[in-house]
Structure formats: C-alpha cells, structure tokens
Amino acid sequence: MHNPFIPTFGVSPLILGGDGDFIHAFGAGLASGPGDPRRTLLISGPRGIGKTVALNELEDQAARLGWIVLRAQPYDLVAPLVNTAIPDALHTVRQQDPDKRRITGLSISGVGGFRTESAGGDSTPSLISSLNKLCDELPDGSGALITLDEVQSVNPKQLWELTAAVQDLRRDGRDVAFAAAGLPDGVAALLQHPGTTFLRRAQHVTLAPMSPQDTASVLENTAREGSVDLSGPVLDRAAATTRGYPFLVQLLGYHLFEQASGGGGTVTERHLEAVTPDVLDTLGSLVHEPALLHVPQSEQDYLAAMADVQTGQDAVPSAAVAKRLGKTAQQVSMARQRLIDRELIYSPRRGYLNFVIPHLGYHLNKRQTHDTGWD
C-alpha cells in the first residue's frame, strides 16, 4: 500500500490542516482587481511550518483562475527572468492558437522552464518591459502571479528591482500579484533595507502550528487514505508528539504508517514508541540543526539552559532559565528577545517560555552528549 504521508519539504501533503483563510483571501484578491491590497503577500515562519506549501496553494488558487504562475528562484532573481524565462514563454504563447491558449505555470530558474496548456518573442533587456509584454499577451481575466520562496536569501538590490517592477505594473492597472515566503529573522532583516518599502506594505502572514484538533484530523484522515487505522489514545499521543508542526505531522505519520501497514493495519502504542527516536533524530538533522546554524553562542547558551530546565515539552519559567545561566533576568533579556524575534522561542503566558520547533530541547540535550558505546 502506498504511504499517503509526505515528509518532504515544499511538497503539499495529501490532506492540509490549519487556517487557510489567507489563501482564500488571496484568491479573492486576484479575482477582485489590480488595486486589491491582498495581491501582495509576505509569509514568514520557522523551518517546516509549511511556508512553501502555502506558496503552492497560492499558486493553485491563481492557476484555477487562469493566471500565469511565475516561480522565481532566490539566488539569481532577475537575469534568468529577463533573458530566458519570459522570452521563452512569450515565444511559446505566440505559437499557440490565441483562442485556446492558457498558460498554467512558469518556473523562473536558471533554465527558464515553463508548462502550458495552450497560448504568443523578442527578449527585452528590461524586467518591467518583459513583464509588460507578457501581460499584453494574456487574455481578459488572466494575470501574472510571481512567487518567491526563501526570500531572505535574495540580493536586496535584485529584490528591489523585481518589486519596483511589480509596483509600477500595478500602478498602470496591470493584473500582477506577488507572494514571497521566508524565515522570520531573515525577513525582518530584509525589510530593514531602504529598497523594500513595497514589501513592508504587503499583507503579512506568520504561520503557526495546527491546533490539536486539526493535527489529529490530519493524522487520522491521511492514514485512512492508506487503509490504516490511527485513532483513539494513540492518535492523541501522536498528535501531542507533533505539537501541530506540519513537517513533523507528516514525518511521524509516515513512520507510523510504515509500521502499521506491515502488520495488521492499525497503529498501536508499540508502533509509536518504536518510531519516535528515529523520527526525532531526523527532525534534529533536517530542522533543528539548520535552524541553529547562524544563532550566536550567547543565544545558543540561553536555548541550552531552557532545555536543561524543561520537563517534557512543557513551558518553562523564564526566571528558571536566568537562574540556570547564573544571571539576572535583565542580563539575559536581550538574548531572550532575539530568540523570540527569530521565532525559535515564544511566550505562551507571562513569565514562561517554550520552543517554537517541537523537541528542540530534546535535541539540544542530546547534542551535548554522544554515546559511542565505548565509554
């Protein structure tokens, strides 16, 4: 039986969970008209929270409305768009029967790939003139959506060039929309650049974990798609293990499905206990370590102290963290605030803290010890 869980970054799961209101609002903005403020969207959140999946859903909304989707790449933003992708797209559009043309997606990457169901090129050296020509070829009711993932990795000058073009096109009444996603601290730093005023005025969505109810529903219904039963107390424990973190929901569900599908078709407590260590190790290497990569040592020390005083995945008193570090609350307040700004920790209630990414405390504690079996 094919495993219905998809623990792969950037790939939409079989069953989505969480609040998708902003996705529907974005689609309504596309249908509304060039002046709708919902046509510019900036999404932020930690690794594995579903930013790329959200962009996928926005692209699907646009495609259903007959819009072109231009998927930009962060490391070389403008040149592939101007020199390859849009000229190739225009050439293809103009070769098609105008009465049947309908482009459903483009990829602005080094090779400028695209896909088309039907639709009319000279290349031009200007980004805005290239986009203008593309808009000229579109049928009534269509438009161009540009999406950009990992926006924190973009050269600010190139981002300014792209967003300035989008802004000018919108002022001219063109049907153009823009959606970007990135990590919280990178997005915050990017918005400090003087050329990102356009993005500061964008609708801003910060993605959060799913609710316990949504998490349980995604686990149960996805498993059911593969004829595996995941229900009752073990479902509640599995949902609690993920804390609504979308990537972990898919990762844990995948391993539970593999265990159950080979023996009876029902997930048991034994299955959950068997897979959890490997699941958390995978989470550590794929999510925790990259999230900690550029965190200064003083802030990592604060995280380690949090891990030391945490019980399970419960919130910890901020005073206990300061005490563990041998400092006053005021002395560690800057490190605490920077970690909150990075969306690595949050305050569920006054005087308490917890990790945004589930099991980060477990990973930090395990990271400090390494049992080779010889000691």
76 and 175 in a common domain: yes
194 and 50 in a common domain: yes
In the chain, the number of structural domains is 3
231 and 169 in a common domain: no
101 and 157 in a common domain: yes
Q: For residue 94, give the CATH number of its domain.
A: 3.40.50.300
129 and 216 in a common domain: no
- The pLDDT of 289-317, averaged and rounded, is 94
141 and 35 in a common domain: yes
- The pLDDT of 306-317, averaged and rounded, is 93
**If we measure between CA atoms, which residue out of 171, 64, 82, 85 comes closest to residue 130?**
82
- The pLDDT of 249-278, averaged and rounded, is 93
Please state, in angstroms and rounded to a whole number, the distance separating the CA atoms of residues 330 and 335. 10
Q: For residue 350, give the CATH number of its domain.
A: 1.10.10.10
Q: Residue 321: left if φ>0, alpha if ψ -120 to 50, beta else—which one?
A: alpha
- 107, β-bridge pairs: 71
185 and 72 in a common domain: yes
Residue 3: inside a domain = no
272 and 352 in a common domain: no
158 and 75 in a common domain: yes
Any idea how long the chain is? 375
CA distances from 375 to 209, 249, 336 (A): 39, 35, 36
Q: What is the pLDDT of residue 125?
A: 58
Last residue of a domain, one of 184, 206, 228: 206
341 and 316 in a common domain: yes
Last residue of a domain, one of 152, 171, 206: 206
47 and 108 in a common domain: yes
* HSE (side-chain half, CA atoms, 13 Å) at 144: 28
In this predicted structure, the answer to whether residue 120 has a pLDDT above a threshold of 70 is no
- For 236, the domain range is 212-292
Compute the mean pLDDT over every residue in the chain, rounded to the nearest whole number.
86
Q: What is the pLDDT of residue 100?
A: 47
93 and 230 in a common domain: no
pLDDT in tens, 54-88: 999 999 999 899 888 888 888 888 888 788 777 76
The whole model's pTM is what? Answer: 0.83
Amino acid at 301: D
In this predicted structure, the answer to whether residue 96 has a pLDDT above a threshold of 60 is no
Q: Residue 227: left if φ>0, alpha if ψ -120 to 50, beta else—which one?
A: left
